[in-house]
Amino acid sequence: MKYPKKIMTFCKYCKKHTLHEVEKVGKGKPSPLKWISRQKRRRGKVGNLGKFSKVPGGDKPTKRVNIRFRCTICKKAETRRTWRAKRFELMER
């Protein structure tokens, strides 16, 4: 999917439509204090991993895109609900 690098959209900090720069961000490191991380540490020693083993059929064909919109006026950034895309590319207008 092709998406523009700059887009006019609503800024919740300025309370009006302004020009935003779009940047693709990677997924952050998961917190080691979350329940699932603690459970993986407890169970992931030797032998069958149970529900942590590979899903049959492998990975999903599409991944969720992480996008950050940065306002060019107030310089504040926000991430919004994303969609699924097989390939994501930022393009010049």
Its pTM stands at 0.70
Specify the DSSP class assigned to residue 86: S
Across 3-7, 24-28, 29-33, 68-72, least confident range:
24-28
Separation of alpha carbons 57 and 55, rounded Å: 6
Q: Is the dihedral of CA 79, 84, 85, 86 positive or negative?
A: positive
Q: Which residue ranges make up each domain of the chain?
A: 1-29
pLDDT for 42 equals: 82
3-class secondary structure, 13: coil
pLDDT for 55 equals: 63
pLDDT digits (tens, 9 = 90+) for 35-71: 988 888 887 676 666 666 666 677 788 888 999 999 9
Residue listed under structure tokens 């961000």: 25
pLDDT for 41 equals: 83
